[in-house]
Structure 1
Amino acid sequence: MGDQLNLKLSTGELSQNLSGDVESLNKNRPYNSKLKTIFISTGEVSGDLQGSLLIEALKRQAVAAGWELKIVALGGDRMASAGATLLGNTISIGSVGTLLEALPFVLPTLKLQRRAKQYLQQHPPDLVVLIDYAGPNLSLGSYIRRQEPQLPIVYYIAPQMWVWWSNQRDTARLVSIADKLLAIFPEEARYFQNQGAQVSWVGHPLVDRVQTAPSRQAARAALGIAPEQLSIALIPASRRQELKYLLPVIFEAAQAIQAKLPQVHFWIPLALEIYRAPIEQAIERYRLRATVLPGQTQEAIAAADLAITKSGTVNLEIALLNVPQVVLYRVSPITAWIARYLLKISLPFISPPNLVAMKPIVPELLQDQATPQNIVQAALELLLNPNRREQTLADYQEMRQALGEVGVCDRAAQEILQLLVKRMKDEEE
């Protein structure tokens, strides 16, 4: 798949080509032609993280090329801190599952979409980047394609329909929207290329993020954890529904682990400040020896002997930090029944580490299997069985090979800016 999907693109080559193209285009142009606007749309906590990493890389690459970039976005606080002007904050309006879970967020999402469309009508950007966030971004992308057919659209981190959803209509819709799809997984790249998309595999951005992560020793020192202290990271929620469906079973399991291993201490990174109260109330209710850590997810994970966690992007971060984990996924019983029997959705795996390797690297407990008893059993196996633990770490290393080399965000940024250069060249001809 290498050359066909640009897997071996050199950051140096791309950067050199980009600088040359921009210098050529900027000759005989007024200064303000160097100011370019990129609109980025994403949602939820993970999208905000990926968006912030991309914005930082876009700004680095733009400076090297002699451009000034303005980033306007639907996203979250991380993206704002990275330099984006937010039209609306989307990190608290995401949902797991379908149907019932998504209903409370329909109106807030439509309101933000309307605001974005009004802005785009009045201030057309030079390029659009859509990051994950399937339903809203497919809708917004379709609107942009109809209204501004010449406007370049990049889809970065495609919705995982290539794994869990065989709706060819949505797949065809995404392919028709995107001038370029930047894939983070090799199988994602293969799937969308076979569907007719223009694809480059850039690798997973978390490969870059963990380069600056603290070591186990540094994380423990920062959090005041003694070297011999048994520490477990609990990661119950980045969405409201996960508080409802996952927090009780995770905390009940933690209570049972605490009874068996009295020396344990739990560390709970806080995804959103609005979750602090229900989490602290649950800590008191279950009488856990636990500490809530706002804004210190990497430290909590890196310091841990084990993570008990919701499914999602965080599973990859945990794997890249070499921490064994137990992964949980639960939605409402009605949604689960509809998905299984009406929509016929069949998942080989739910967590990214298992999906990348297509084998059960980490234990997954889905729906009815996500019970406190099963969590305790899986957790103790990873904590107390050295062979099981060593096998997990070995599998992590194998999985790591499919996530690409360091420099992911810069490669993605260069692909995006190259598309912008192409548009400028086309306009001159």
Structure 2
Amino acid sequence: MAPGARLPVDGRGLSLALVAGEPSGDVLAARLLSGLRPHLPDAYFHGIGGPNMMAQGFESHWPMDKLTVRGLLPVLMRYRELKGVQNQLRDRLLAERPAVFIGADYPGFNLGLEEQLKAAGIPTMHYIGPQIWAWRGGRIKKIQRAVSHMLVVFPFEEAIYQQAGVPVSYVGHPLAELIPMAPDAGAARRALGLAEDANVVAIMPGSRMSELKYNTVAFVQAARLLLQRDRSLRFVAPMAGDRQKAYFQELVAQAGLQDVEIQLLDGQSHTAIAAAEAVLVASGTASLEVALFKKPMVIAYKMMELEWQILRHFGYQPWIGLPNILAREFLVPELLQHAANAEALAEAMWKQLDDAPHRQRLVQRFTDMHHSLLRDSAKESAAAVLQVIERAK
């Protein structure tokens, strides 16, 4: 294809490039692809992605796992490798000139790639705006240079990008569509082999190995303390994969916590949350999932001490948990780093389990939050992509 050539918008021969660097982005991009495919049945979707994207007919030129790394120091240690992949993909896309490039989250990698592609005249989109409202607000300058059109999943983000002169569309949060407005706790407990009236607590220390490393022991120690208060409690812990499950078990054994009975689940995180009376959850998207299931929770997070000392100075808001950020108040407790010790976690969880009026208030607040995030995200995001392609003709 000659440099600068444009492809027909009816989809025949049309090329769209996407990059997702971790499982959450893979799910996000797959949802977008499901909305695009009916409009562009013959288009070639390619780049870097995971199994959910490939199920939509996407071709991944590198395994997505090659990009999946989290945390400041781990990224620095693998910088040259990641930069090499970025450069190779950039050169390929500059030669091919796709109709649009879409970065699915993963801003450290995607924004740099988008900046180079946009400078060469290739339209660029970014799906899920980086949390510049929480930290690193100066990143908006790079976004202005890098992104032709931003897709955001929280209503308040539209105004931020509009004020910065970045074209933007609010498309709703895909999780709001996947999670039922009124979850069936009894059915979820039956699915896990538990009694319908079981007093279930879900513990979710994270899906990444680094999160498991720093969160697991304190979470399980908190479970032991809760059991001392109420022997009827039943604990479930969804595991993201076999590696995570084995590592969780190793950490528990090393800490001498094998006496704490926890039902480990292969995936099934939504079933675990639906079944639970309350959830102890690592900060991140999982906390939003818990809110959409209308469950009380305690949000906690621990990390490498050096990383904590660096990152704790960058935040702009008093909250780190998405439910609290969306509510603009501490709806649920947040315990971070040294504060996330077993005693404090257990005490905070007990209050979530024991305070019935608080639980009812949370159900109403989380229901309102759910409605505010509910859109047909596949349809809305696909429409925005098609508009960008049309404008670039």
Scaled by the length of structure 2, the TM-score of the pair is 0.90
Change (3 A) 1:331 1:282: closer
Could you list the per-position Cα deviations for residues 251-299 of structure 1 after superposition, in whole angstroms to 9, with x for gaps in the alignment?
A: 1111222232222222222223321211123445412222222231211
Residues 205-284 of structure 1 mapped to structure 2, 5 A cutoff: 205-211=174-180, 215-284=184-253
The 2-side partners of 1:55 and 1:213 are apart by 28
Give the one of 327, 348, 372 matched to 2:318: 348
**Contact in 1 for aligned 2:33/2:53 (Cα 8 Å):** yes
For structure 2, list consecutive stretches of 5 or more residues without a partner in the other structure. 1-7
Give the one of 133, 147, 159 matched to 1:190: 159
**Contact in 2 for aligned 1:213/1:298 (Cα 8 Å):** no
Residue in 1 aligned with 2:47?
A: 73
Give the one of 336, 347, 354 matched to 1:384: 354
Residue identity matched to 1:223: L
More helix by share: 1
Deviation at 1:315, TM superposition (A): 1.2
Residue in 2 aligned with 1:410?
A: 379
Residue in 2 aligned with 1:3?
A: none
**Aligned Cα RMSD in Å?**
2.3
The 1-side partners of 2:261 and 2:243 are apart by 21
Deviation at 1:61, TM superposition (A): 4.2
The 1-side partners of 2:371 and 2:353 are apart by 25
Q: Secondary structure at the match of 2:320?
A: coil
Could you list the per-position Cα deviations for residues 230-259 of structure 1 after superposition, in whole angstroms to 9, with x for gaps in the alignment?
A: 212111122222122111211111122223
The 2-side partners of 1:211 and 1:152 are apart by 35
**Contact in 1 for aligned 2:171/2:375 (Cα 8 Å):** no
Residue in 1 aligned with 2:267?
A: 295
Change (3 A) 1:25 1:254: closer
Give the one of 295, 304, 308 matched to 1:332: 304
- Residues 1:315 and 2:284 are matched in the alignment: no
Residue identity matched to 1:136: F
Change (3 A) 1:152 1:83: same
- Residues 1:39 and 2:11 are matched in the alignment: no
Could you list the per-position Cα deviations for residues 204-240 of structure 1 after superposition, in whole angstroms to 9, with x for gaps in the alignment?
A: 1111222499632332222212111121211112222
Change (3 A) 1:295 1:345: closer
Residue in 1 aligned with 2:331?
A: 361
Residue identity matched to 2:58: A
Instruction: Count how many residue pairs are aligned between Structure 1 and Structure 2.
Output: 383
**Contact in 1 for aligned 2:181/2:367 (Cα 8 Å):** no
Residue identity matched to 1:84: F
Change (3 A) 1:86 1:213: farther
Give the one of 158, 175, 180 matched to 2:129: 158
For structure 1, list consecutive stretches of 5 or more residues without a partner in the other structure. 1-23, 27-32
**Contact in 2 for aligned 1:214/1:299 (Cα 8 Å):** no
Could you list the per-position Cα deviations for residues 285-343 of structure 1 after superposition, in whole angstroms to 9, with x for gaps in the alignment?
A: 41222222223121111111111111111111111111211111222222222334xx5
The 2-side partners of 1:196 and 1:155 are apart by 15
Change (3 A) 1:191 1:91: farther
Deviation at 1:101, TM superposition (A): 4.2
Could you list the per-position Cα deviations for residues 109-134 of structure 1 after superposition, in whole angstroms to 9, with x for gaps in the alignment?
A: 22432342243244332211112212
Residue in 1 aligned with 2:75?
A: 102
Scaled by the length of structure 1, the TM-score of the pair is 0.82
Q: Secondary structure at the match of 1:159?
A: coil
Deviation at 1:181, TM superposition (A): 0.9
The 2-side partners of 1:408 and 1:231 are apart by 32
- Residues 1:86 and 2:69 are matched in the alignment: no
The 2-side partners of 1:82 and 1:274 are apart by 26
Q: Secondary structure at the match of 1:88?
A: strand
Residue in 2 aligned with 1:117?
A: 90
- When structure 1 is superposed on structure 2, of 348-357 and 388-397 the one drifting more is 388-397
